[in-house]
Amino acid sequence: MLVIPVIDIKDGRCVRVIQGLAESTEFYSESPIKIAKLLRKENFKTIHITDLDGAIFGNMKNAEVIREISKSVDIPIQLGGGIRNIETARWAIEELGVYRIVMGTAALTDHDLIKRFLGEFSSSKLVVCIDEKLNNVVMDGWINYADITPLDFAKTMESMGVKRVIYQDVTRVGNLSGPHIERLLEIAQNTKLKITSAGGISSYKDLRNVMDLEKLGVDSVMISRALYENQFPCQRIWRDIESKDTSLELPKVN
């Protein structure tokens, strides 16, 4: 099971957003670049970055920070947020140096874009994000409903040639309430997609629950808050950096 750490960037800073509510944003660090380097130090094999400003407003406000992260670490960067046309997608791969892009809103509103991207790049360069709220896919930074169920959206993307999706229940994001196992199982059993689980992971127990679905195609998991707040026994990274860099202002956990 591949564990993918998440760096959410808003106004150039590393943050977390609880349940998709902008007013619940909490800042972790002034420097997403330092966070990326620390994650690489802990031997993570890839990093996911979300440009939250891009997800909401449709343009990549944090592009230069993302470029610096790509230059600073020697592992693949997966990027989502604000990628809604082929020019931006191409630019992110060729100019920002990211390995793979994530599309959510664009995949819902512009199927031709998905076809064009798959025609220009391989399917390994694209992940479609399925963000759910109450069995309805949401878009535009989790603000608007798309009037399609997660399973139907997954089937549509599969029929177009998409090979991998990220699934998350946005009501669980940032609150450590556990992943939506039933929905993951539903999508896995009814498609042949590779699935990355995101949102809600709080502990090793949650990881084990997702790992039980690995044989069905759920082969990776994205984690944010639980990593930042030392929810795993193996973590020593934050104890190390807290003593060396007070600017990170990471929370202490007893």
Q: Is the pLDDT score of 3 beyond 90?
A: yes
Q: Is the pLDDT score of 252 beyond 50?
A: no
Q: What share of the chain is helix, strand, coil (3-state, %, to 5)?
A: 40, 25, 35
The label of the residue with tokens 């750490």 reads 5
| pLDDT at residue 72 in the model | 95
The answer to whether 131 is a known catalytic residue is yes
| pLDDT at residue 142 in the model | 81
> What whole-number percentage of the chain has pLDDT above 70?
87
Catalytic residue among 53, 74, 112, 131, which?
131
- Confidence band (pLDDT; 50, 70, 90) for 251? very low
Indicate the CATH number for domain 2-247: 3.20.20.70
pLDDT per residue over 65-121, tens digit each?
A: 999 999 999 999 999 988 989 999 999 999 999 999 999 989 999 999 999 999 999
For residues 2 and 46, give the distance between their C-alpha atoms in angstroms, rounded to a whole number.
Answer: 9
Query: Any residues with CB less than 8 A from the CB of 52 and at least 6 apart, and which?
Result: 8, 9, 10, 15, 17, 81, 141
Q: Is the pLDDT score of 179 beyond 60?
A: yes
- Confidence band (pLDDT; 50, 70, 90) for 176? confident
> What whole-number percentage of the chain has pLDDT above 90?
61
- Confidence band (pLDDT; 50, 70, 90) for 25? low
CA dihedral 151, 152, 154, 156 (to 10 degrees): 170
Name the average pLDDT for the chain: 87
Whole-prediction pTM: 0.85
8 Å CB contact between 101 and 93: yes
The answer to whether 8 is a known catalytic residue is yes
pLDDT per residue over 195-220, tens digit each?
A: 999 988 988 899 999 999 999 999 99
Q: Taking the domains of the chain in order of start, what are their residue ranges? A: 2-247
Q: Is the pLDDT score of 237 beyond 60?
A: no
For residues 99 and 241, give the distance between their C-alpha atoms in angstroms, rounded to a whole number.
Answer: 28
Residue count of the chain, please give it: 254
| pLDDT at residue 249 in the model | 45
**Secondary element (H or E) of residue 48:** strand 47-51
Cα separation values, 46 from 5, 12, 50, Å: 8, 20, 14
Catalytic residue among 8, 51, 53, 169, which?
8
pLDDT per residue over 118-155, tens digit each?
A: 999 999 999 999 999 999 999 987 889 999 999 999 99
Average pLDDT on 172-179 reads: 83
